[in-house]
Amino acid sequence: MKLTIALNSKILLAPRTGIGNYVAELAQALQQDSELDMQYFYGARWRPALATASMPEYARWSGVAKRLPAAYMMRRALEQLCFNRGVRRIAPDVYHEPTLWPLNFSGPTVMTVHDLTHIHYPQTQPKDRLKEIERRLPSAVARASRILVDSEFIGTEVKRQFNLPAEKVVLAPLACSAIFRPRNEPELALRLKKLGLTYRGFVLSVGTLEPRKNLALTLKAHARLPQSLRARFPLLVVGMAGWQAEAWSGALAQAVSAGYVRLAGYLDQADLACVTAAARIMVFPSLYEGFGLPLLESMASGTPVIASDCASLSEVGGTAGTYVGPQDEVALTEQMRRLMEDDGYWTERRSAGLARSQDFSWEKCAAITAGVYRQVAHS
């Protein structure tokens, strides 16, 4: 007998980022399970099909909603009404919420907790949303039948923060999209030309200038390189929406104007996969990650990674990653230089990363997730 699963998929209507990619990839893998009837909730309506593209009006509506008093509470109340209507019609056996804000459901609920950024870096959350998360999350976690986590690191944090028994928290490691794979120079030539880049001729950094991503360390370490290496391997920064005007001064402005640092802004997955496969190195010294998909995406693309030794990153990268202290710009410069100049070491790190990336797959993540669905539905 099939299980009917209600998956909150509203995030798929927004431009795809971390959790959106998680929902899309997991849902596609779960669709291969013939014993599951997947039903997707999109905030105002239900569909049996997975959304394949973001909704053009989503960003406009979100911008308007953020300016309304109590916008999150109002929108949430409307979503709950629409959710309840669908639940009465569809009668799901299990409800899966992939974010920190589950809707009310009388049956078994599975939550995915990717990280506790709202606790460690509350300034990165809109105030209204943060207030609601703080108010609702403890009781939601207590009510949930199971909590899925991306890494052992975040699992330990969740159990400690909410005083949960070990059996309630289940590790379901993420994977990366198949679009992230090794690519040769001819395959990338046109796209790299469009972006003004050369194959294996730049350092990649993925993340905004905010405290958690620690992009400032990458900028400082790259600036310490000899001028010849900075010119040969400029720093490409992807995802710059968080930068503030006051940051554009002094050495940074000079580095940008001289071509040592280039700003790509937001790239869609197709462009991101290409630059990831074309970079000489990917640098990811984040201070806090529940998993760290850019690290895995780079390894799967055949690009060596230097990451901080914080949070979940060494758990994901294993022995294939190169790690430095989160404030050690000297060590980061040294590791960047070695991977730029030592082709033998670069090749060894590339091979290790490719092998490590094979340990992760969406099929494995989906199998664990489906197993949790069956446990809670039959308990």
Query: Distance between CA atoms of 160 and 148, rounded to whole angstroms?
Result: 15
Q: How many Å is the maximal CA-CA distance in the chain?
A: 66
Asked whether residue 122 carries a pLDDT value surpassing 90, the answer given is no
Sign for the CA dihedral angle at 216, 177, 146, 156 comes to: negative
Determine which of 18-32, 156-170, 196-210, 214-228 has the lowest per-residue pLDDT on average. Answer: 196-210
pLDDT for res 177: 94
pLDDT tens for 309-355 read: 999 999 999 999 999 999 999 999 999 999 999 999 999 999 999 99
Q: Which residues contact 273 (CB under 8 A, 6 or more apart)?
A: 177, 179, 180, 181, 297, 301
What band does 271 get if pLDDT is binned at 50, 70 and 90? very high
**Average pLDDT value over all residues in the chain:** 90
Q: What is the DSSP string of 12-37?
A: GGSPP-HHHHHHHHHHHHHTT-TTEE
- Identical fold for domains 3-175+361-377 and 185-357, yes or no, is yes
pLDDT attached to residue 57: 46
Which CATH number, 1.10.260.40, 2.70.70.10, 3.90.1150.10, 3.40.50.2000, labels domain 3-175+361-377? 3.40.50.2000
- pLDDT score, position 15: 73
Helix (H, G, I), strand (E, B) or coil at 234: coil
Coil/strand/helix, residue 365:
helix
More confident of the two residues 358 and 196: 358
Q: Cα dihedral sign for 284, 286, 291, 292?
A: negative
* Burial of 55 (C-beta count, 10 Å sphere; 0-12/13-18/19+): middle
pLDDT of residue 215: 85
End-to-end Cα distance, the chain: 16
> Which of the four pLDDT bands, split at 50, 70 and 90, describes residue 9?
very high
DSSP code for 6: E
Q: What local confidence, expressed as pLDDT, does residue 365 receive?
A: 98
Residues 71-82: what's their mean pLDDT? 83
Cβ atoms within 10 A of the Cβ of 92, count? 23
Does the pLDDT at position 4 exceed 80? yes
More confident residue, 118 or 278: 278
Q: Evaluate if residue 201 carries a pLDDT over 80.
A: yes
Q: What is the sign, positive or negative, of the torsion defined by CA atoms of 237, 239, 242, 245? A: positive
Identify whether the C-beta of residue 176 lies closer than 8 Å to the C-beta of residue 357.
Answer: yes
How high is the pLDDT of residue 75? 80
pLDDT of the residue at 54: 64
Distance between CA 160 and CA 42 in Å, rounded?
Answer: 32
In this predicted structure, the answer to whether residue 67 has a pLDDT above a threshold of 60 is no
| Predicted pLDDT of residue 135 | 86
Q: Quote the tokens at residue 339.
A: 């991977």
Whether pLDDT at 13 is above 90: no
Query: Structure tokens of 67?
Result: 């300016």
pLDDT at 34: 96
Query: What distance in Å separates the CA atoms of residue 294 and residue 205, rounded to the nearest whole number?
Result: 9
Where is average pLDDT lowest: 55-69, 129-143, 363-377?
55-69
The pLDDT value recorded for residue 2 is: 93
Chain-centroid distance of CA 333 in Å reads 25
Q: What angle do CA 99, 174, 352 make, to 5 degrees?
A: 150
For residue range 275-315, what is the model confidence (pLDDT) as tens digits?
Answer: 999 999 999 999 999 999 999 999 999 999 999 999 999 99
- State in words which class domain 185-357 has: alpha beta
* Burial of 167: CB neighbours in 10 Å, binned 0-12, 13-18, 19+: exposed
Work out the pLDDT band at 1, boundaries 50, 70, 90. Answer: confident
Q: Which stretch of 26-30, 147-151, 256-260, 296-300 has the lowest confidence by average pLDDT?
A: 256-260
Domain ranges of the chain: 3-175+361-377, 185-357
Model confidence at 240: pLDDT above 70: no
For the ranges 13-22, 183-192, 199-208, which has the lowest average pLDDT?
A: 13-22
pLDDT of 132 strictly over 90: no
Query: DSSP alpha helices (H): ranges in 91-214?
Result: 117-120, 127-143, 152-162, 185-195
Structure tokens at 140: 């939601």
Query: Using 50, 70 and 90 to split pLDDT, how confident is the model at 243?
Result: very low
